[in-house]
Amino acid sequence: MSTLVSVKNLSKVFDVSKPWLNRVIERLPKAHLTATSDVDFDVEENAVYSLVGESGSGKSTIGKMVVGLLQPTEGNVEINGVDLASETDIEIIKQSRTDIQMIFQDPYASMNPRWRVRDIILEPVVASNGDTEGLAEKLLEQVGLAAEDATKFPHEFSGGQRQRICIARALASAPKLIVCDEPTSALDVSVQAQVLNLMDDLKSELGLTYLFISHDLTVVRHISDRIGVLYLGRLVEEGTPDQLFDAPKHPYTQMLISSAPKIDGFGREVDPPQGEIPDPIDPPSGCAFHPRCPIATAKCKSERPALRELDDNRVACHLA
C-alpha cells in the first residue's frame, strides 16, 4: 500500500488576543492558542486513520488543515504528493480539491436548508464544471436513499438520512480521501451503526481512504486501521487498534481507555482520573500531561518527550 496523506510537523497557532484597544488599556500581552503542534503521521491508501482526543486536543483543527479550510502555521500536508497550501498550479489545485472531501458532525447544519437535495449533492461537481447527468439519483441510491428524494429539502429527512445525503455529497466528486469530523456523534446508536456500516461498504467498493476524527473510543476501535491519540495538540501515541486498546503505552491513553464507560462494566468502580484538561493558552511545561499523570517524574516536568518508535507503535512518554 502506498501513502496517500502525509502530514509533517503540522502546527497551528491561533491569535486569541483581545482587541488592540483593550490590550493597550489593560496592558495585556498578545495571547496565542496553540491548537496543534508538531503533528506527524501518514495515512495509507484505502485505510482508516483515526484521530482521537478530548476537547482541546486539536483533532478538528488537523482535519480542517488537511482539507485546506485552515492554513497551517508551520509544517505541511501532502495529499498524493500535492501540498494545497503551497501549490500554485491552478489545474493541480482544482484536481486535488476534487480528491478531498469532508463529512461534518452536525447533519442539521451541514446542508443549506434552502437548497434541494439534488443541488446540495451536485454542488461539488457543479463547482468544477463536471457532468451531473443522473448523478444525484445514482449517489442517493448508493447511500441507501431513493432517487425521488433528490427533489426534497433537507428538513424532510431524519438525522441519519441527512448524514447519508452528506455522504452522497462527499462522494459526488469521486474523491480519494474523505475527512470525517465526528460523523456519527450527533446520531443515535442504532442509526450510527447504519452509517458506520455504510461508510465501511463504500470504502471497500470505491477504494476510499478515511481520516476519521472522533472522541468516541468504541467507534474508533471498530472502524480504524490505525489510531493516533492527541492530547493538547500533540500526538502522544499511535498504533493499531488492538495494540492501543489491549496494551496502551502512554499513561494518557491508559487513562482514556480505563475511564470510558464499559457496556459490560456493571457496577464497575473506577478510580476516576485526576484533574481536567489544562488551558491550551497556557499549557504545562515539559510533558503536557504531567500534572495529571500518576507516574510523572521530575524529568516529565522539565523536558518534553519526543514521539519515538516502540515496537510498531509510536509513543511520546519518557517512561514507556
Partner 1 sequence: MNKIIDAWHSDLAWNFRNSPVAVVSFALVFVLVLAVIFAPVIAPHDPFDPSTLNLINGFSQPMTPNTYTGDVFLLGSDDQGRDVFSTILYGMRISLFVGVFAVAFAMILGITLGLIAGYVGGWTETIIMRIADVQLTFPSILVAMLIFGIVKGVIPVEHRDQMAIWVLILAIGLGEWVQFARVVRGATLVEKNREYVQAARLIGRVRWVIMIRHILPNVLSPVLVIATISLALAIIAEATLSFLGVGAPPTQPSLGTLIRIGQGFLFSGEWWILLFPALTLLTLALSVNMLGDWLRDALNPKLR
Partner 2 sequence: MTEPILSIRNLVVEIKTRHAILKAVDCVSYDIAPGEILGVVGESGAGKSMAGNAVIGLLSKPFSVADGEIWLKGRRIDNLSREKMRRLRGKEIGVVFQDPLTSLNPLIRIGDQLVETIMEHLKLSKKEAERRAISALEEVGIPAAAKRVNSYPHEFSGGMRQRVVIALALCAEPSLIIADEPTTALDVSVQAQIIALLKRLCRERGTAVMLITHDMGVVAETANRVAVMYAGRLAEIGPVRDVLTNPKHPYTDGLMGSTPAAAIGLEKLRQIPGSMPRLARLPKGCAFSPRCNRATDKCVQDPPPDLTAGEGYAACWYSLKTECTG
Residues at the contact surface with partner 1, assessed by CB under 8 A: 67-69, 93-94, 97-98, 100-102, 104-106, 109-114, 123-124, 127-128, 169, 173
Q: Which of 11, 34, 110, 192 binds partner 2 (CB under 8 A)?
A: 192
Q: What is the dihedral of CA 48, 52, 56, 58, to 10 degrees?
A: -30
HSE-CB of 185 using CA atoms within 13 angstroms: 16
Cα gap 233→48, rounded to integer Å:
21
67 touches, from partner 2, partner 1, none (C-beta below 5 to 8 Å by class): partner 1
Q: Are 203 and 25 in contact (CB under 8 A)?
A: no
Burial 87-110 (b: 16+ CB within 10 A, else e): eeeeeeeeebbbbbbbbbbebeeb
Q: State in angstroms the smallest separation of the CB of 51 from partner 2.
A: 15
Q: Specify the residue, 173 or 224, whose C-beta has the smaller distance to partner 1.
A: 173
188 touches, from partner 2, partner 1, none (C-beta below 5 to 8 Å by class): partner 2
Q: State in angstroms the smallest separation of the CB of 62 from partner 1.
A: 15
Q: Which of 98, 200, 206, 284 binds partner 2 (CB under 8 A)?
A: 200
Q: State in angstroms the smallest separation of the CB of 111 from partner 1.
A: 5
118 touches, from partner 1, partner 2, none (C-beta below 5 to 8 Å by class): none
The verdict on 225 binding partner 2 (CB under 8 A) reads no
Q: Specify the residue, 36 or 110, whose C-beta has the smaller distance to partner 1.
A: 110
- CA dist 308 → 44, 203, 317 (Å): 20, 31, 8
- The C-alpha angle with vertex 195 and arms to 190 and 199, in degrees rounded to 5, equals 150
174 touches, from partner 2, partner 1, none (C-beta below 5 to 8 Å by class): none
The verdict on 295 binding partner 2 (CB under 8 A) reads no
Residues 6+ apart with CB under 8 A from 177: 4, 5, 43, 66, 79, 99, 100, 101, 208, 209, 210, 211
Site for partner 2 in 31-90 (CB under 8 A): 54-55
Sheet containing 32-44: which strands, arranged edge to edge? 32-44, 3-15, 74-79
Q: State in angstroms the smallest separation of the CB of 167 from partner 1.
A: 12
Residues 6+ apart with CB under 8 A from 191: 158, 159, 160, 163, 184
- CA dist 2 → 79, 182, 286, 315 (Å): 12, 26, 35, 23
Q: State in angstroms the smallest separation of the CB of 305 from partner 2.
A: 20
The verdict on 262 binding partner 2 (CB under 8 A) reads yes
Q: State in angstroms the smallest separation of the CB of 158 from partner 2.
A: 5
Compute the chain's Rg from CA coordinates. 21
Cα gap 288→210, rounded to integer Å:
28
DSSP class of 82:
B
Site for partner 2 in 228-257 (CB under 8 A): 255-256
178 touches, from partner 1, partner 2, none (C-beta below 5 to 8 Å by class): none
267 touches, from partner 2, partner 1, none (C-beta below 5 to 8 Å by class): partner 2
101 touches, from partner 2, partner 1, none (C-beta below 5 to 8 Å by class): partner 1
Which residues sit at the interface with partner 2, rule CB under 8 A?
54-55, 158-161, 188-194, 196-197, 200, 215-219, 221-223, 255-256, 259-270, 272-273, 276-277
